[in-house]
Structure 1
Amino acid sequence: MRLISTKSLKPGMVIGRTIWNDSGRPLLQDGVQITDRIIGRLVQLNIHYVYIEDTISKDIDVQETVPLQVRHKAIQQIQDSFNSIKRATREKNITYCLDENSKQFVSIINDLMDYIFESKEIVTVLSDAFIYDEYIYQHSLQVTIYSISIARELGYNAEEIRQIGIGAMLHDVGKMLIPFEILNKPGRLTSEEFDTMKLHARYGFDLLRNLHTISLLSAHCAFQHHERLDGSGYPRGLVDFEIHPYAKIIAVADVFDAVTSNRVYRNKMLPSQGMEIIKEGMGTLYDERVVRAFEKVIAIYTNGSVVLLSDGRRGIVYKQNHAQPNKPGLRIFEEDNQLLKATYEYQLEDDVEIVKVELDYVLSE
């Protein structure tokens, strides 16, 4: 199957991967032939990319690190827990509620650790596979998956990774205390609204720090995930040595997921673009060791992506490369702007690089 931008879909193309709603029901089943009506519905749902089946992508498999069913269950648990926390805030019994929900969070983290530790593939998260009305729940899960993967690459032990995972899952819990109209504002926040939004880091720490069931280190993840090495972050403007190593991990995972996910105020970037944003801030905003570890564990070029090479050839990613994730295995299907009669497999070499991801590519046959 092949990843293609929604704007490039044509009637007659065939859906290659099912898209689900937040209730776990299929919105669009794989194998369905695309019509103008379906294209219109996808645009309405703000879905930017879908997988299709075609000749150049035959037999290319796309697997998420965490199975879709497990991911959906986890997001539902996060949503239920966060909503109960929001209700408890109004009812003034939030400490009891958080203690009760912490057992659920630990269970989710343990399940995610099992899948990530057992996986032989680098991390792939397909954020368009499920359609959620509220960004925060999906974001919390994806940041957790990225953070656990980074921590594992950095050599943390299981208990440390568990603390990092809980900190990642709850890093935005303070947003439950931010007014809804600010949290979900479709346009740019005013300076006053942004000052209010920034309070979520301190709110999260205050909610978590006195709990017996959650480590104080996990609470500091909520407190410090917007701090930056050069002191430009918030809420306290900490610098490199003042920021806890756990928070440095979550900072990278948080920003990467934020820029590669659909938001109410802007469209998502591709993973390769998101990684470039992170690398531009390496050493000034983000810890270099964390960024280097993230590069090793994340699928920058997702299976099924069409790419243009520096020598003019076009190929489609068919497998990941553990040793060098920026050099995936390719199936070359075009040379000199001419479709080949037979495709061939190619492993990127040092003198050839990917210059562009072309998800708007339309096969002319």
Structure 2
Amino acid sequence: MRLVPINRLQEGMKLGKKIYNDEGLVLLADGVELTASLISRLSAMDIGYVYIHDELTDDIEIPEMLHDETRNQALKAIRSQFQDMSNSSGITKGFYHLDKKFSKVMDTILDDMSLQEDPMIMLHDMHTTDNYLYIHSLNVCLYSLVLGIAYGYGRNELKTLGLGSLLHDIGKTQIPVKIVQKPGMLNDEEFRHMKAHTEIGFNILKDEPNIPLVAAHCALQHHERINGSGYPRGLKGPEIHEYAKWIGVADSYDAMTSNRVYKRAMLPHQAVEALYVGSGTLYEQKQLEIFRDRVAIYPIGLTVNLSTGERGVVVKIDPSIPHRPVVRVNTGPDNEPIVPYEIDLRQVLSVVISGVME
């Protein structure tokens, strides 16, 4: 399979991976042949890239972080609970409580991830953007857990980090929908309302019997930055809980790599470079180094340009050096098709990736 931008799709191409909605339900199945109408629908869904079958890359397997059943279970739990909270007046009166399903979902997620020898942050599965909050919550959870595993946390610590990251934006359920889903930049008054989601989230979670208190602090602090420029309290360095710092990195990365109505998604290598700008000021340098080593900046299936002038598809990533993948070259310097061959950039240091298919 290869990863193709929506604006490069052609009629007759066949989907290589399913397209999901925000409930985790399949909208388009693997193997569906694309028509002009389906391509137009995908574009309208604000999906930036899809996986496509082709002869050159059909032997490429795209690793899955979660089983479909686990992903669906998690998204349904997020959607049902968040929708209930959005419609409930009991939250402000102190008698609304989360149920125990999030704890069970987190155990299932951790079980799935424990089956992977070296879990990495890959380009997430393709979803519509009907409700970004649900997908974003799950993505940030998965990314935070990958970082926590790499850092060496144990099962109990990972479960707390996972719950904190899954629920980090729960306060947005109490922010007006017209602000949360506004298709453009927020004005000062709207941004003031939006920033309140951190304190609202803390107040929702702090007395929850089924949620660790640390998870409430993750909701409160995930927008704090180590130089004191974050919100809501302008905390600095050691004043910010370590879990909230991990979530802050994962939250920023997912926001940059997700398509929104008002902005196009960055590719992973672009988002990583943007995060680097904040090293030592916004984010802890050590955490960014771990993040750098766990993110597939050139995802499997991505078409890349090489410094030789050739072009090919990423077919394999070594977790110990993800920025030097194996590339299956199929196009020569003059844009002519050539007999495919593979180049391992870990071994051929004189060749680098000079660009990607936009």
Structure-2-length-normalised TM-score: 0.93
Structure 2 residue corresponding to 1:200, chosen from 194, 197, 203? 197
User: Which deviates further from its counterpart, 149-158 or 19-28?
Assistant: 19-28
The amino acid across from 2:101 in the alignment is Q
**One-letter code aligned to 2:155:** A
2:342 and 2:147 map into 1 onto residues whose CA distance is 33
Q: Is the 8 A contact 2:328 2:343 kept in 1?
A: yes
Aligned to 1:270: 267
CA distance, structure 2, for counterparts of residue 354 and residue 327 of structure 1: 8
The one-letter code of the counterpart of 2:20 is W
Aligned equivalents of 1:20, 1:218: Cα separation in 2: 28
**What corresponds to 1:355 in structure 2?**
354
Structure 2: unaligned runs, 5 residues or longer = none
Is the 1:65–1:121 contact (alpha carbons within 8 Å) kept by the matching residues of 2?
no
> In 2 relative to 1, CA 93–226 (structure 1 residues): closer, same or farther, beyond 3 Å?
closer
Amino acid corresponding to residue 58 of structure 1 in structure 2: D
Separation in structure 1 between the aligned mates of residue 157 and residue 95 of structure 2, nearest angstrom? 25
Matches within 5 A, 1:176-195: 176-195=173-192
Number of matched pairs: 356
The answer for the alignment partner of 2:53 in structure 1 is 53
Following superposition of structure 1 onto structure 2, how do residues 69-88 of structure 1 map, counting pairs within 5 Å? 69-88=69-88
TM-score with structure 1 length normalisation? 0.91
1:153/1:10 Cα in 2 relative to 1: closer, same or farther (>3 Å)? Answer: same
How far off is 1:34 after superposition? Answer: 2.2
Check the 8 A contact 1:296/1:323 in 2, yes or no.
yes
- 1:198 counterpart letter in structure 2: K
Q: Structure 1 segments of 4 or more deviating over 4 A? A: 92-96
Partner of 2:20: 20
Distance 1:68 1:95, change over 3 A: farther
Q: CA deviation at 1:96?
A: 4.7
Structure 1 equivalent of residue 153 of structure 2 = 156
Work out the CA distance in 2 between the residues paired with 1:124 and 1:92.
34
Q: Tell me if the contact between 2:328 and 2:340 (Cα under 8 Å) persists in the aligned partners.
A: no
In the alignment, is the contact (CA less than 8 A) between 2:129 and 2:260 conserved in 1? no
Aligned to 2:288: 291
Following the alignment from structure 1 to structure 2, what is the Cα–Cα distance between the partners of residues 320 and 183?
36
Q: Which moved more, 1:179-188 or 1:112-121?
A: 112-121
Match of 1:123 in 2: 120
Provide the C-alpha distance between the structure 2 equivalents of 1:214 and 1:18, rounded to a whole number of angstroms: 33
Q: Which residue of 1 aligns with 2:3?
A: 3
**Percentage identity across aligned positions?**
39
Distance 1:327 1:304, change over 3 A: same
The 2-side partners of 1:161 and 1:264 are apart by: 33
Deviates more, 1:57-66 or 1:218-227: 57-66
